[in-house]
Every structure is written in C-alpha cells, then in structure tokens.
Chain A
Amino acid sequence: MKLLINEASHEFDADPEMPLLWVLRDLLGLTGTKFGCGAAQCGACTVHVDGVAVRACITTASSVEGQAITTIEGLNGKAAEAVQEAWMRLDVPQCGYCQSGQIMSAVALLTENATPGDADIDAAMDGNLCRCNTYHRIRAGIHEAVRIMER
C-alpha cells in the first residue's frame, strides 16, 4: 500500500482493513495522532484527508490511498500556526493527550471559516473529547487564533 502523508509518499505492507490510525502510529512511527476510543467517539485520532478532519481510527488505510493525509506532525499554514501559537499562549493543554486531535479539528474549522462564532465552534469541536475538560480554553484558544490570523 502507498499513502501520501505530510507531503511524503510512504509504502508499506499491511492488511487493507487496518485503520489509518494504526498505520500512522505503529507502522510509520507518527505517534502524534492518538488512540482514544477506536470508534470515532472522541476525536483524539483526528487527521486531515484532503483538508477535511476525519477520524483515523475508523478510516481504513486502503480507503485513503491517493489522498493527501496531514497529521499533527505535518501541520502547517496560517491557521495551523495561529492555533498552535494560541494554544501555547493560553496554556490550553493539561494532560495534553487529546490536544493533537483538538488542534487538527480547530485548524480544519479555521481553514473553512476564518471567523467562527460560538455555535460554529460547538459544531466543529463537539466530537473532540477532553477529559481534563480544557474546553473553556479550547474555545478561547480558537478565538485567540482568529485574532492572530487577523494580524
């Protein structure tokens, strides 16, 4: 199988049904994408496929062949920089385990909509669980990222 990940081509041998999450983590060593539920319930495994936020834990590797996959390690661009800057500025993470997924969802949101309202943020981020409940700062972080992008 051959996948395009973070602008590089990766060839490997795997069960075509193997979820992208485990290909990234166990076969390619891209461990920034996290395992939280294996059932698209928590968003810890969020990556971008052709710019769209998807759950890598239920996406088979074979279904994304030929598409551009971006993980937290390969994240770049204006929205990404703004979100990561905001996250550090506000000390959003606590345990931090879900934050790769949070950031991937936030960047996908801001790439689509540079000035989201709270309802937009709710809709885009409700699939990303945080058991430390850093939601207050995630919301503030997205608003802060908007301000950074507007600079």
Chain B
Amino acid sequence: MGRRQTYPTKELSRRSFLVLSAVAGGGLVLGLPNLNASADETSAQTPFEAYLRIAPDSSVTVLSAHVEMGQGIFSGIAALVAEELDADITQMHAVGASGNTRLYNNITMGGTMQETQGSSAMSSSFERYRRAGATARAMLVTAAARTWNVAEEEITVDAGVIAHPSGKSASFGELVEAAVRQPVPSDVKLKDPKDWRYIGSEKLRRLDAKAKSSGRQDYTIDIKLPDMLTAVVAHPPLFGAAVKSFDAAAAKRVKGVVDVVEISHGVAVLGQNMWAAIKGREALVVEWNNDKAEKRGSARLLQEYRDLAARPADALAVSRGDADLAMADAATTLEATYEFPFLAHAPMEPLNAIAHRLGDRLDLWGGFQMPDHYQKIAAKTADLPQDAVKLHVTMAGGAFGRRGTPDAQIVVEAIECAKAIGWRVPVKVQWTREDDITAGRYRPMCVHVLKAGLTQEGKVSAWKHRIVGQSILAGTQYEQYVQGGVDPSLTEGAADTPYGIPHFAVEVSNAKVGVPTLWWRAVGHSHNAYVMETMIDELAAAAGSDPIEFRIGLLAERPRHIQVLNLVAEKANWGKTLSAGRFRGVAVHETYGSVVAQVAEIVVDGDGGFRVDRVVCAIDCGLAVAPDQIRAQMEGGIGFGLGATLHSKITLSDGAVDQTNFDTYEVLRLSGMPKVEVHIVPLTSPSTGAGEASVPPIGPAVANALAAATGRRSRVLPLQPLS
C-alpha cells in the first residue's frame, strides 16, 4: 500500500500536532497539519485518525484502537509507544480512537473490524504501536539532525530528550514542527528486547490511577453537552414484547420532563436531568403487546434443555476415534449433568450513549467495544453515510463484553431519541441498574451432559460431551463462524481440549429461546472449563491419582499447560498437608491463547459453609508487557469468576427476569475475596492476553476443593451450600 496523506481537523492543526499512522499491511500515513486543506481533501478520509500525536508541550497522546474498560490497555499501548519513541512515561497519555477500520482493525481477530474482545488488544497492538513510536522517533531525530546540522547517528533520545554530544538538546515539542516536515521512513528498526526499559517492567504503572483515585476521570455518564437531555427508556417487561400503546400525560406533568417518545426498544422519557427522567418513567403508562414474547420460566427451560440433552444432538463439534465403542470397553465410566444459569455482566457504569447531530454530522459518545460496527449501525439508524458518524470512544466503567452488542442497542436508542425530537439537542440515554440486569444479553444458560471412561490402568479412554445452549453468534456479524450448527463460542474450551483423550466427541444441541445472549468475559470457556476441569478431577479421583499428576499425564504435548501446573503446584505447596478444615483444588485452562492454572484453598466451617481463603495463580501469557497489570487482571478475574461461581444467576418467571438490582443479582463483595498470589511464567514469545484467562479456572478449582472436603461433586451453578 502506498503512502497517502490525511489532514487532521483544524482544531488539531492549529496546535501543530504530529500525526502519524501506519496502514495495516505496510505503508505509512503522515497527517500533515494543513490549515488550507480543502473540503474535498478532508472528505477523502475521515480526519480523526492517527496512532499518536505529539503536542508542542511535548505531551504524547496515543490513540488507542482498543477501548479502556479497566483492563489497562491504554497504559500498555502507551508503554509500547514510549518504548520505541524513547519518551518518558510521564509524557504519555491515551485516548480512545475510532472511525477507520484500516488503522484500528483488530489484527489478532482477523483484521476486519475494530474491536476490543477475546483478550486480543495487546497482541493486536504490539507491532503496530511500537512501529508508530519508532517512526515518530526517527522523524524527530531527522528533524534534530537537520536543525543542528549534525549526523543523525550522533543523536540520542532518552526519556523525552533529544540530544547531541555537542551539548545541543531539545524536547519533542520543540522539534515537532520540524519533524512533521521530514519524510516518513519506509521502514524503522525496532529495539532489541534487551534494550527495553518499559516493556516488561515491574515499574510500569497505570496512566489513569491518579484520575481514578480522585474522582476526576470522566465516563460517558459524566459528559454534559450544552442543552443535553437525559433519556430513560421504558423497556418491555418480556423479551420480544413491543409497545402496544402508551399514555404520556402523567409523565409529562413531572417537573423537568421535556418529552416522551416511542422508539424501537420502548418508550423514552426525556428529562432535563436523570431524576426527572426516572420520575417520568415511573409515571408513564405503557401497554405492551406480548404476543411474540418469550414467556417460559427458568424451570421449564431447564427441563427442555435436559430433554434436548437426552435426545440425539443437533451437531457434532469434534470427534476423534470412537467414543461410543471406547465407552463400552471402559473399565469405569462416570456420567454427570451440569447446569449453568444465565449471567448478567453488570458493569458498574450502567450502559449509556450520547447522540448529537449537527447538520450532516452525527457525534456519538460511549465506551464501545466495537466502534466501527456501532458506527455502521448508527449511520443506518440516522440515515447518514458512515463517514458522517464520528464516535468518541470514552473511558468505560467496566464492560466484560457488555459494551459490544451486535445490534448496538444503546446507540440506536440514543439516536432514535435525538431524532424523535428533531435533532434539536444532544440526548444521553442512561440505563438504570434495573435496565441493565433485566435487559438480557446474558451469558447463555447451558446444560452439559458428559460421560467419560477410564481403562483398567486408570487412563482416560473415552469422552462424550453434549452441550445444550443458545448460539451467541447466530444472527450477528460473526455468523460466518457458526458452521454446521456449531457455534464455537458454545464449545470453546471443550472441543479444543488440551487433554490427549483418544476417543473424544463434543456435540451441540441449540436451544431456541427468546432471551438475547452475549459474550460474557471468557464466553464459552467460562462454563466449559468448569465441566472439563471438574470431570478430570473426578476421573483422577476414580483412578486414585493425584489431580496434578493425572492432568500432566494427559498433557503430553502441551508443555505450556505442564509448566503452569508445575509452577502453581510449587507455589501452592501442593504436596504439603493442609491444616484441619482446609482443602484445596486445582484447575488449568487455556483461554484465547493464555494458559492459567489455579490452586484454590477453601476453609470449611462447622455449619456447612465455606469460604475461599487463598488462590495461587500461574499464567503463561507469552511476553508479559505490563506485569503488574497482568497480576491485576488475574486478581480481578478470579473475583469475577468466583462471584459467578458462588452467587450469580439470572432466572425467569413466565418470561420475566426475577432479578432487578444487586440485592437480587448477587456478585462478589470484598469480604468474599480470597488472598490472591500471581506468578507469571517469564517468556519472550508473543503476548497472548490476560483480560479473561483467570476467569475460567476459578470455578472448577473451588469446586474441586469442595469435593476434596465433602467427597461430593457440585454440578449446579451457582454452587449450593454444603449441607
């Protein structure tokens, strides 16, 4: 791909930013500050794009292709740029980027979309952002050489200072005007890893810790545009229901309510502030048409799932050998049924988005995990060309998958509200917690039926696993990945097991339910790891083997799994007898390329209760770019998974969601958080991500500890009390 020029907005141009961007597949784009760029030139490409900007005050702003939702990616990407730019880390800032799939596509996920998912942000960014930093450095060096009339080779850059042995030195800001006039190098040399000072450093800190420790970090909920209205939407009480009629008279009498409008997803009350909109919604009378609504309750769904599991499966995900024949020959067989509930993501900042149309341009604000997909849907909703839609990807108050929905519902709601009032003023749609918990988009409810066989010698010879659940990907932009009736998001972590089981089959039956589902942190791995790792544990017990030795025996061709198991065993003193009342369990699982092993220690009290006291965690995620953030993701993911294991469930009664807020949708609280100890395998192989990999193993590790304590297996989630 050849070189092209882009032109930043006038606002940026006035500040003489250096705007650099690299196009996927090679070739560099330099955005020159050009105040005289004509409308034609600027419309050739959306003028919002770059990987980094250097301001006259020497601050460096990285435009992150990935939304920051807590996982620390802004800090990680800023470190990549700072490394090659030889900036001082304190110069670095990061903001969310959007609007150009060529620049911000997720390379790891195939490169067709901009997306933050699948723990892929670091691997997608590693080359791209280091290259951007190195390119900017090269241009600053060329500018310095020409300005000082010295050889480039004699110039050094260290911690944001460009210097020459003659005593000349300059900051980035002092040379940025000259740097943007230099030719863009067609290739740059990246540092030898031994020279890294930021990548892999224990000293790397979050860029946003100060703002987030002082209330100064703004999220979408905090953005206030002039004359903006806040909309609260009355959503249907049942999935699939629609508005039949509504009476807005009482709602409109509420002080501060400005308008009441019908939108695709319900009826929206627009107020001067959130409280007015909430009170207005309370006063609103809506009659719903429930003809097409899902009206089944959880008990009935569960029975139907069990019935489906008892019948021949819809599709075969994987088959090796002959599982049925080997099962018949097995000396011992174990059979189990597992039940997993629907789960809500419940990020702390309830979903929101702001829409503002001015002339032919539509601006949207939100913490979006799929910006260009949302942009596409927004353009369609607003009847505008896609490049007329500018997304401002804001800091997200948690996401866990929830801020990337295939139908972009929150954005559609905001646009439809703004459109309904004639685009008069900006509109922020703000969901309440009740909207969030009852809106669907859950981790699918699942029933797994599993039968496994052991030989006389205690080897696992046969494995037959049937998964009943809903497809997440069917009907979405990822539908192409559903092949032969198998949605890989339902089978991941089972069909691709690392265990060398000779006769192995995983089947799927797709339930048809009107409850919308969504990827929930670690997606299919979150339930499949539980099934795999508790059954392996059962088999180890049946074979009279140590659970770690038994696993290692099945992992002959998986050195990474063996290494994390050995590491966690060593750090958890696996062989050592525990004090009375204390029990441990182990689990290992690979999630999106990273392998995590955990040993959970539980303490059982006299009343049948237990608490998880300590978790030792080992991770292989390739090169650890920001070790302390990986540790933070392990700690947080363990808490996230533990809350789901012990407390969380979404249930339905006649189709209506039973839980509405955190009083009924229970999650982990501080008192339930175990001590966590994280060990990272030191590696130089490509980074494989850390955002999700600690979630899947915690459930089975705890369940295996519980089985060690009681001799009984828990197969219904969330785990029931012991007694």
Give chain A's interface residues, CB within 8 Å of chain B: 15, 18-19, 22, 25-27, 29, 31-39, 41-42, 44, 71-73, 84, 87-88, 91-100, 103, 121-122, 125-139
Contacts and interface: CB of A to CB of B under 8 A. Distances in A.
Contacts of B306: none
Given A19-B275, A121-B670, A122-B671, A29 B212 contact: no
Contact of B348 (A19, A26, A98, A139): A98
A93 B274 contact: no
Contacts of A39: 433, 661-663
B218 interface: yes
Secondary structure call for the A interface: loop
B400 A125 contact: no
A126 B671 contact: yes
Nearest to B216: A32
B497 to A, nearest CB: 27
B274 A22 contact: yes
Contact of B632 (A27, A35, A84, A91): A91
A72 B274 CA distance: 20
Contact of B639 (A44, A96, A136): A136
Interface in B481-499: none
Nearest to A30: B215
Interface residues of B, number: 68
The 5 A-B residue pairs whose C-beta atoms are closest, nearest first, are A32-B215, A133-B639, A96-B212, A97-B397, A95-B70
Which residue among A29, A36, A41 has the maximum number of chain B CB atoms within 10 Å of its CB? A36
A31 B230 CA distance: 15
Contacts of A25: 222, 274
B78 to A, nearest CB: 14
B215 A139 contact: no
Given A133-B640, A137-B635, A35 B667 contact: no
A73 B222 CA distance: 14
A32 B219 CA distance: 10
B210 A36 contact: no
Nearest to A136: B635
Nearest to B633: A94
Interface in B324-340: none
Contacts of B629: 91
Contacts of B99: none
Nearest to A40: B663
Given A39-B663, A87-B213, A100-B215, A94 B224 contact: no
A94 B206 CA distance: 9
Interface in B618-648: 628-629, 632, 635-640, 642-643
B670 A96 contact: no
B207 to A, nearest CB: 10
B349 interface: yes
A26 B273 CA distance: 6
Q: Which of A38, A72, A103 has the most CB of B within 10 A?
A: A38
Contacts of B642: 133
9 contacts: A31-B222, A36-B349, A87-B213, A93-B213, A95-B397, A95-B398, A126-B670, A131-B400, A135-B639
Interface in B222-240: 222, 224, 230
A73 B348 CA distance: 20
B636 A134 contact: yes
Contacts of A15: 255-256, 275, 279
A26 B275 contact: yes
Contacts of A35: 221, 274, 350, 430
B205 interface: yes
Given A27-B273, A92-B209, 18 more contacts: A15-B255, A19-B275, A31-B215, A31-B218, A31-B221, A31-B224, A33-B215, A96-B212, A96-B397, A126-B671, A127-B669, A129-B669, A131-B347, A132-B636, A132-B640, A133-B635, A135-B669, A136-B635
Nearest to A73: B215
A36 B433 contact: yes
A135 B676 CA distance: 10
A122 to B, nearest CB: 4
Contact of B398 (A92, A125, A131, A138): A131
Nearest to B349: A97
Given A94-B636, A132-B636, A84 B213 contact: yes
Contacts of A19: 275
Contacts of A103: 213
A99 B215 CA distance: 8
